[in-house]
Structure 1
Amino acid sequence: MASTTRSAAPTVGFDLDMTLIDSRPGIHACYRALSERTGTFVDADLAITRLGPPLAEELAHWFPAERVAAVADLYRSMYPAVAIAATPALPGAAEAIAAVRAAGGRAIVVTAKYEPNAKLHLEHLGIEPDALIGNLWAEQKAEALREHDAAVYVGDHLGDIRGARAAGAHAVAVATGPYTAGELHAAGADSVLADLTEFPEWLAAYRDEPPSAAARA
């Protein structure tokens, strides 16, 4: 008779910005540097309140459409020198990755961030996922989650919930980004955590529960 518990070691996907790392200080500094470089004002205080979507969507608020692609390239080229050292890991980030590994699973990072810069963040902070896939937003993230057979995806944004659902993965939301726990629940997250410090305990409970009893924590 088949087991009714989730005994298999899961592959767990994690978002990057405001899930594993607090990218606000680095991105704020990079937008200010971009303003100085281009002579075009970017409200960095406002921009860091709406992290998650692709860079081009934010730049479109400040630059004409015909300049967005070139300015995005400039921003990405400036980013390593300005943003990496200024960006800390969020509480519980390393421990969340370790919990997946301790369970015999694989931890992957799937992010909308430009992949080379995402890699620099992880290297700087000593976070070593089994795979990193960048340049994917919202439902696009389902491509990587399905490719890696991820059972769970953890993120802070409504787009992360949409990506998890598109992949048929359990959507775990952390209230460390722009949305409250209540908003994440209302958007359809399967489980909501205050932050990643709660993830190891959640993972242990998730693996022990029958699939039909998935908790909306």
Structure 2
Amino acid sequence: MPASAKICGLSTAATLDAAIAGGASHVGFVFFAASPRNVDFDRAAGLAARMPAQVRRVGVFVDPDDALLDAAVAAGRLDALQLHKTPPARVAAIRSRHARETWAAVAIKTRADLDRTADYVGAADRILYDAKTPPGAALPGGMGLRFDWALLDGFRHPLPWALSGGLDPANVAEAIARTGAALVDVSSGVERSPGIKDADRIAAFLAAVTGTASKRG
């Protein structure tokens, strides 16, 4: 099956249009005040209104409360919820409340971290494997870090999954070939500076993913 891509942390019409034109299957809107990629509800609504139905809108959250989720889902017309630093029971409750595809982001550094993904069976629809950030880091992701892809060798994934963490136009083809990822997720790897996406880098990333898909075919 060809790989697909999510461009995360979009905040402008131009970069959203680049993601759509390049063939992204998903785009991510970040609702986390500490992030340079954070969008307010009005901006999220404006961006969502530009999108064709076939591209899925993913809201990105860090252990959110219900009020934030309710407002973001409505403003961004969200199709899916991506939850960082959120325990399995809370993920399950959010999934039940909103009746939307729910992703649990799991920070990976060791094989023991991978084993934790089994806790989300029955709670989430998808696992997002992301690189573990340093202790005390302000952000749970989007820092350009990657984990050792060899950790995925022989691992029996408990749920559908996506690969994130340190991906960019230069390494995404290798990442897909190495891990077999069907969905890849990028944020900082297509930026000029934190929070500032680059339309050319988005296009190059998506072209690399498409090139991998054609080789598989």
Range class of TM-score, shorter chain: 0.3 to 0.5
Larger fraction in strand: 2
Q: As a proportion of its length, which structure holds more helix?
A: 1
Question: How does the TM-score come out when normalised to structure 1?
Answer: 0.35
Q: Which has the larger Rg?
A: 1
- If the length of structure 2 is used for normalisation, what is the TM-score? 0.35
Asked which structure has the greater RCO (Cα within 8 Å, sep 6+), the reply is 1
